[in-house]
Structures are given as structure tokens and as C-alpha cells.
Structure 1
Amino acid sequence: MKFQVRCFNIILLVLLLILIYFFFYHLRYIDDDGEPIGTVYITETRGRLDKSILTDYVKDKEDEYFSAANISVPILVWWTPFTYDTGSYTRCNNNNQARCFISNIRKYRDNKQFSAFLFYGTSFRLYDLPLPRHDHEQWSLIHEESPKNNYAFSFESIMNMFNHTATFKRHSDLPLTTQWLASIDDLLDQTYLIDVKEKTQLQTTENLAPIIYIQSDCSTPSDRDLYVKELMKYIQVDSYGGCLHNKDLPENLRNPVETMEHDEILKLVSKYKFTLAFENAICTDYITEKFWRPLKVGTVPIVYGSDQFQDFLPDNHSAISMLDFTTPELLARFIHELNVNDTMYDSYRHFKLYQIISNDTLLARTMSERKWGIHNDRVRGNFIHQFECLVCERIHKTRQDPTIKYQAKFDDYGCPPPTTFDKNGEKLERSGNWYRSYEFTRCQLEVFHELLDQKNYSFTEKDINNAATKRFAPSFRRNEFLR
């Protein structure tokens, strides 16, 4: 009987705690006038969200609702809808002083408490910006994606427009370089580790190549497929994705977004000795799952991406840089050599075999200091919330002390022009279709800033493109070195 009573009391306590949690969770989404505000849609694997969530919400309000809303804390507005939050209060790092109201409704700009815009880089458009910009407004950029998504941030004139940044660059205000790595433990885990002798046997018993390549984005600024196609002349590469396809994945693993961390994909990669970790665009600190996945499963990555990727390795000898070889043929020779020398091969897996991370690496320091998590970390949250809090806390500081100024730097994103390869796999500068796209963006930005200088804020996308085309086409006709 006592046991039953105790169980009953425990169940009641649990139910009470759940009710308390949802009560306070609900309070976060209550406006100052007591009206429920809306739902927050923050996910890390983002699907296509319907903007009608925002437009329908605005329709139900009077014109002066947003400007007259009784809000007593700084207002931050996502100009480019990203979280699809119609409005909520947030408190950062349990800091009662750093409290802000965050919304994706642009009309809150008219409220006296409005302080900053938040922009998601992929959706940033020159013809759709809050212009003219008012002196008290601060602009904030979050862009964890590749420069392929938007070349505008590769130019200093645009980066100078921002006050706060969260990008993959280590020098950003909120560095997202490790956005695809959950923890250091993932790199030390031996769940998928396969002995080198077994890997060698698998090349015969399962007809595996020394190298695996899984890519389905076949038109990229890095032009990686041109290089891989040449590499394939000198060494066998099993290509499972849509690009240079020569080997089939099981049907349930063919969606590259949904299966990139699938257990069966990890098991497949672990069977190979080497993985081509070639990014879709080349920029310092742009590092994705292509880099981390082979390290997590005990396969040696061959890297083409960040020119400083070594800073984020578990130690100084755990990956191979494609750029260390002048041609694909020379890289293939080296891989052939490692493929038949177990000792040399395992020297690249020392960190994994002995579960040791060099304490002085930038990777170790970054992961120890990182305040956010991935895979919907319930304890630390995600980098989106951390970015909102960074801006919120800085806004409070500038309100307390107007002499404090924040200014983004070119190196908070700025990426080099895209390159390509010739028929022999040797790098070509200032050439190729993606270089043309980069240069056309330069022309667009020249037009954009001239319009701002003229205080002309009513231009359209067509206006910018037409003016940019007139500058772009003659320039490229003069440059005969372009293909």
C-alpha cells in the first residue's frame, strides 16, 4: 500500500512539473497587452515554410497595432523571415537585463523600441532592404551557408553595412565553423572504426575503390567534379551521388539531405580508406559535414575547401590536402602509396585509434568555448538563438553607453573569387561560369551603392540588373582570357 501511495505521489509531482513548464513556456509568447503572439518555428533542418503565417497575422491587426504596441524592451526584427516567429520575448543566458522582443513582422520597425534588423544571408536581396537606413538601426547578418548562395558577402562594401555577424568564419562575432560537429566525442568515438587490414580486404571482397565520393550537387563554384573526373583516370573512385555516378546507393539512402548522417551512410563511408571531402565553394573556414563525416568514422579525408582547415583537425596529421599536389595524377600516386602501406595509413588515424585530441588545436578551444549545440540540443539550444541573444545583449550595451559602436569586418565573411580547373585538373584563376557570376555581383553592388549615394531607394531588381549588365558585358568582351 505504501508503495502504491508513493508511486501515485511521484506521478502527481511529474504532472505538476509538466504543467508548470508549459505555463512558463506559454508566458514567453504573450505580448505586453496579454495577447498570445504566435509560434516560433526554429529548426536546424529547415523545410519550406509558408509566409502566409506572417501575412495572415498582419491582416488581423489594425495599421497602428505594431507601432503602438506597448513593448518596453528593444525590438529585433528578422527582415528576411527565418524563424517565422510573429513575436516573442527572449531572455538570454538567464540574464534578466538582456531581454528583447523578437519578431519576423517588418511593421515593428515603426515602434519606438525598434533597434535592429536580423538578415539571413541566403535571402538577402539588394532590391528588398529597409532603406533608407536610419541612424539608430543596427544590421545583423547570419549566414552559415556557402558563398554559392549569395556572392554579395564576398565584397567589402556589403560587409561594411553590418554591425553584428554570425558566419562560418572564425573571426565572426559568433563563429559557426563547427556547425556540423556535435561534440569532440564524435571524433573520438570508435563505433564505426574498421581495422586497416579489414579495409584492404573489403576492396577485394566487396569490390571497393580506395576512395569514396558522395555528391549530388554537380554545378558548384569549386568545380570539384572537373578535378575528380581527372583524378578517376589515375585511381579508382566509387561515386555514389548524382555527380560522376558509377555506384548505386540503396534506394532509401538517395536523398542527400535526409541521409547525410544516416547510420547506413556512416557504415558505408567507414569501409573506405579515403573520402573526397570537396566543398561546393572555397573559402577560409567553410567546413561542412563532408569534412567531419570521414573523421567521425575513421576514414581519411582528402580535403579541398578551407585553406586553413588544418586548424580544425584533431591533430596535425589526420587529413590530406588536395592543394599539396599540383595535379590529380600526383595525388593519385600518393593515395596508391598509402593504400598499400598500413603503417603510413594508420598514422593519419592516430587520434582515432588512440582517442587523443591535441589540446592546443583551434578545434579543441572552439568546442570548449562554444555555447550552442546542434541536432536540436535541448540544453544549449542552437546558434540561431545564440545569434539573437548576441545582438540583444549588444543592443542593451549601446543603449547604456551610446559611445559603444559595433562594426562588422570584411573578414567576417569575405570570400575569394571562384576558380576552376583545366582539362588536366590544374587550377585556373579568373575563369569559368562561376567567376562570371561573381563579377556580375560586383557590377550589381557598384550600381546599388551609386543609387544609395543618390538617395534613390525606389529601385527594383530589374533596375539593378539592367544597369549591371551594361557594365558587365563590355568588361567580359575585353577579357579574352575568360572561357
Structure 2
Amino acid sequence: MEPPSNLAPHSTLNNLFNLTTTYRQDSDIMVPYGQISEKTGGSTTFKIPYKSKLVCWIVSRWNSNYKRSQYYENLKQHISIETYGRSFNRPVRNEDYSDLISSCKFYLSFENSIHKDYITEKLYNPLKLGTVPVVLGPTRKNYEELIPGNAFIHVDDFSSPKELAEHLKLLDQNESLYRQYFTWREHFVASSAYFGPEQACWACDHIRRNKNYRVVKDLNSWFWG
């Protein structure tokens, strides 16, 4: 579930595995960090949670060389950001996490590494909890392969952190514009993955439906190449 830059290649992995199961779409068994699925039954009306904060960010692994850290340092010059996590000496308890995220109008869903398809719970949790994610990661096109384009804000859509900040301030002052980021909730819901059990279930289902044999000969080139 980690991207190539967070893992070291191992030559012993070659000619060993029959199938791949990762977050990547080109895996034999793709297990994303979350998903958008069609709403079934019940009311089509989604109530946006009460918002007491504008922009929030939880970080427990700080690295000044990360693109997300550098972008944050620029963005905070133009808009107030409520920061939490061990990196800011404000740890968040598990029982407080959902209430915190849902109380924010926007959440900085900034990935620690930029790789195709590496879109983590940092995106799916805010979506599930009724908060608009501001994403920094792969391209907007890549995000839109997995979630509706009007469900999030991408930093690449703006020429600078200052321009992004001005857009967030505009949405804060215009309720109708802000609500447009929730229109997808009329037909869809967001959910997070349960790692371990989810991979096992999806792998068992794949094997049941696919009886053909294959082997992944060069895993290093495929994943780290």
C-alpha cells in the first residue's frame, strides 16, 4: 500500500509472485484506499455537517523536503490553517478524528509522495465525513479516474498558493458555490478500505473467478522501474 519512493526494491521478489495486489490500477487486484459507490435506498438528500473551521490539516510525519510541506508553508501565508497531529504537537485521538474532520470546510489532503494512483485515506476520509478535500498528489485526471471531478479541489488548478487561498475564501463566503462540491452526494457515497481483510477478500474473489495461471517475473521493474 506504500508508493515506490517509500519502499526499497528487493531482487528476491522477482519470479516469486503470481499476482499483484496494490493501490495501482494496473494491478491484477486493485485495492484502493477507498472508493465511491452508487447510493442505494434511503433519502438522496445529504446534509453538510456544521462547520466551525475553515481549513484543517493533520500531519504526523513532517519532512521539509516533501512537496506538501513546502506548499503548506506558502499557503499559510495567505489563509488560516488549523493544524493537528504529532508534527504540530496536537495529536488527535481516534475517537475525536471524525468530529474534527467533519467540522472543517476544507481539508488538506496532501500526499507525502507523488505517484500515479497513490491516492490515500487523506482523500477518502474527508469525502466520507462531509468535508471538501484540497488535494496535492497525482494529476487531476488521475483523481477523476476514481472520484467525481466536482468532489474535490486540486492545487494544480491554481497558479499559486495565494490564488488557491483566495478561492477558498470565496467559497467560504458563498454558500451556494460551496454546496456545489457536494452535488455528487445525491447519487454516490464514499467509503474507506479496511486493509488486510479487504485485500484477502478481493484476492479470494479474483482467484475464484480467474483460473488462468501467470507469474510476475520482474516485480522490481513493474513497481520501481
Q: Above 0.5 in TM-score?
A: yes
Counterpart secondary structure, 2:108: strand
What amino acid does structure 2 have at the position aligned with 1:357?
A: F
1:93-112 counterparts in 2 under 5 A?
none
CA contact 2:36–2:146 (8 Å) conserved in 1 = no
Aligned residues: 219
1:300 aligns with 2:132: yes
1:188-267 counterparts in 2 under 5 A?
193-194=48-49, 198-199=50-51, 202=52, 208=53, 210-219=54-63, 222-243=66-87, 245=88, 248=90, 253-254=92-93, 259=94, 262=95, 264-267=96-99
* Percentage of identical aligned residues: 26
Give the aligned partner of residue 152 of structure 1: 9
Pick from 295, 320, 333: which aligns with 2:153? 320
Give the aligned partner of residue 60 of structure 1: none
CA contact 2:38–2:187 (8 Å) conserved in 1 = no
CA contact 2:44–2:187 (8 Å) conserved in 1 = no
Q: Note the C-alpha offset of 1:220.
A: 7.7
Pick from 337, 340, 347: which aligns with 2:173? 340
What amino acid does structure 2 have at the position aligned with 1:149?
A: N
Q: Note the C-alpha offset of 1:329.
A: 1.3
Q: Note the C-alpha offset of 1:238.
A: 0.3
Change (3 A) 1:321 1:414: farther
Give the aligned partner of residue 144 of structure 2: 310
Alpha carbon RMSD of aligned pairs, Å? 3.9
Counterpart secondary structure, 1:382: helix
Give the aligned partner of residue 374 of structure 1: 194
List gaps (5 residues or longer) in structure 1: 1-143, 203-207, 368-372, 399-404, 416-441, 443-483
Higher RCO, 1 vs 2 (CA within 8 Å, ≥6 residues apart):
2
List gaps (5 residues or longer) in structure 2: none
Q: Note the C-alpha offset of 1:406.
A: 4.3
CA contact 2:9–2:220 (8 Å) conserved in 1 = no
1:449-464 counterparts in 2 under 5 A?
none
Aligned mates of 1:159, 1:344 — CA distance in 2: 50
Change (3 A) 1:268 1:351: same
Counterpart secondary structure, 1:383: helix
Deviation track 1:56-77 (CA, whole Å, cap 9, x = no partner) reads xxxxxxxxxxxxxxxxxxxxxx
Select the structure of larger CA radius of gyration: 1
CA contact 1:146–1:286 (8 Å) conserved in 2 = yes
Pick from 357, 382, 396: which aligns with 2:188? 357
Give the aligned partner of residue 176 of structure 1: 31
CA contact 2:55–2:82 (8 Å) conserved in 1 = yes
Q: Note the C-alpha offset of 1:293.
A: 1.1
Q: Note the C-alpha offset of 1:384.
A: 2.9
Aligned mates of 1:389, 1:278 — CA distance in 2: 32
Q: Note the C-alpha offset of 1:221.
A: 6.9
CA contact 1:165–1:408 (8 Å) conserved in 2 = no
Counterpart secondary structure, 2:138: coil
